[in-house]
Amino acid sequence: TPLYSSAASDVYKRQILTNLTIYTPIKTLLFLEKMFFILMKDYLLRLALELKILLPKATEIIRKLI
């Protein structure tokens, strides 16, 4: 059965290579897209928090100037 094993091994290796060639870029893009949205959400939440803190201070400074 060494000949069969070798042929089966070649087919298996070819399937792995095909799967990596096709699916890895798609999975990578999906992962990057997911990470982008996670980072954007985090950035926007931090920005909202900073605005929530800074807006009252800015309003107070403007009122003092008027």
CA atoms within 13 A on the CB side of 29: 4
pLDDT tens, position by position, 5-25 = 566 677 766 776 666 666 667
pLDDT in tens, 35-56: 999 999 989 988 888 888 888 8
Question: What does the alpha-carbon distance between residue 33 and residue 51 come to, in Å, rounded to a whole number?
Answer: 27
Full-model pTM? 0.49
